[in-house]
Amino acid sequence: MLSSSQSPALVPCQVDMRGILCSSTDVAAADKLKEANIDTAEKLMGNFMVMGRSEEKMAKWLEDVCEVRSVEAKKISAALVEKGDKICSM
C-alpha cells in the first residue's frame, strides 16, 4: 500500500510476497510471477519445495521465467532456503 510520500516507482512489488522479494525487485518481475501463477509467498515457497529445495534451480527459474536479475534471484533463493529449512525442521 502506498503512503502519500511514496510514488508508484518506489513500490517494491505489486505482489505481496511478505518480504521474500527484495525491495529492488521491479514491477516487471512481479508481473512475470503473476503470469506464472505465483501471486503469494505460499505459492513461491511451494514452487521452491517442488524444485527439491534447490537454491540453484530456484534462482535459475526466477531468472529464466520471471526475468528477475541474477543478484536478486540469488537473494530470493537464499531467503527461501532459510525459510524452507525452518519449515522442514519443525
The answer to whether the CB of 55 falls within 8 A of the CB of 80 is yes
- Residue 77 Cα distances to 20, 32, 69, 83, angstroms: 9, 16, 12, 10
End-to-end CA separation in angstroms for the chain: 33
pTM of the model: 0.67
Write out the E strands in the chain: none
pLDDT top residue among 89 and 2 = 89
- Residue 33 Cα distances to 4, 59, 85, 89, angstroms: 27, 13, 23, 28
pLDDT at 21: 52
What is the share, in percent, of the chain residues with pLDDT greater than 70?
70
pLDDT digits (tens, 9 = 90+) for 11-58: 333 334 445 554 445 677 777 888 888 888 889 999 999 999 999 999
